[in-house]
């Protein structure tokens, strides 16, 4: 179960169906498997990716949003 407090208000209670328990032994390995192809997808769209721990940034030298849209669509496939 999960509930979030933000700005003094509580969200509704949600039942978590999927996920990995925090601190589990398999957590880091499962995270790596989940994100293994992320930078391939980013590079195929002509973008640049940077990652630190569990935070990823995607950048482009172009002002076009088309590459970002293509990247997200490939990631969803």
Whose structure tokens read 């076009």?
64
Q: How far is CA 47 from the centre of its chain?
A: 16
Range of the domain at 45: 24-76
* 55 assigned to some structural domain: yes
Number of domain units in the chain:
1
* 12 assigned to some structural domain: no
* 47 assigned to some structural domain: yes
Q: Which residues pair with 52 in a beta bridge?
A: 55
* 17 assigned to some structural domain: no
List the end-to-end C-alpha distance of the chain, in Å, as a whole number.
Answer: 29
Give the tens place of pLDDT for each residue, 37-72. Answer: 888 888 888 888 888 877 888 887 776 788 778 888
The helix/strand/coil state of 67 is: helix
* 7 assigned to some structural domain: no
Task: Determine how many CB atoms are found less than 10 A away from the CB of residue 41.
Answer: 19
* 9 assigned to some structural domain: no
8 pLDDT more than 80:
yes
Average pLDDT over residues 19-38: 85
Going through 4-69 in order, the beta strands assigned E by DSSP cover 5-6, 9-10, 48-52, 55-59
Predicted local distance difference test score (pLDDT) of residue 77: 63
């Amino acid at each position: 179960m999960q509930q979030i407090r933000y700005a003094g208000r509580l969200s509704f209670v949600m039942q978590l169906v999927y996920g990995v328990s925090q601190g589990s032994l398999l957590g880091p390995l499962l995270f790596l498997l989940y994100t293994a192809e992320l930078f391939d997808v980013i590079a195929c769209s002509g973008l640049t990716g940077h990652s630190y721990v569990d935070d990823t940034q995607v950048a482009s030298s172009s002002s076009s949003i088309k590459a970002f849209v293509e990247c997200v669509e490939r990631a969803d496939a």
